[in-house]
Amino acid sequence: QKEVEQNSGPLSVPEGAIASLNCTYSDRVSQSFFWYRQYSGKSPELIMSIYSNGDKEDGRFTAQLNKASQYVSLLIRDSQPSDSATYLCAVKWAASEKLTFGTGTRLTIIP
């Protein structure tokens, strides 16, 4: 059983629209949640971190965490072609340095 799950996509969104990416995780004591963006052939780039329930906004990005339902999401407003990438959800469990990634969602923004 996978510990972190994402819809692999591909997800296609028109330019200027809102892209919504979702991630669920298994029932373990979790602590920290992250969204990474990865362009083809490049390394993952941290775009958002969230540690407590609720929303966290940073520019066009909003991360949402619901620990009771065990999901974390990422909203990208006013999507741009440069947002086209694979988005990786990652979870770090409490009392552990292990960072576990979901399978990633490939997002394509259509001009």
Partner 1 sequence: DTEVTQTPKHLVMGMTNKKSLKCEQHMGHRAMYWYKQKAKKPPELMFVYSYEKLSINESVPSRFSPECPNSSLLNLHLHALQPEDSALYLCASSRGSRGGTEAFFGQGTRLTVV
66 binds partner 1 (CB under 8 A): no
Out of 43, 52, 69, 82, the residue judged to bind partner 1 by CB under 8 A: 43
70 binds partner 1 (CB under 8 A): no
Angle at 92 between CA 54 and CA 43, to 5 degrees: 100
Q: How far apart are CA 96 and CA 31, in angstroms?
A: 9
Out of 73, 104, 107, 109, the residue judged to bind partner 1 by CB under 8 A: 104
Out of 24, 34, 74, 109, the residue judged to bind partner 1 by CB under 8 A: 34
Q: How far apart are CA 91 and CA 100, in angstroms?
A: 5
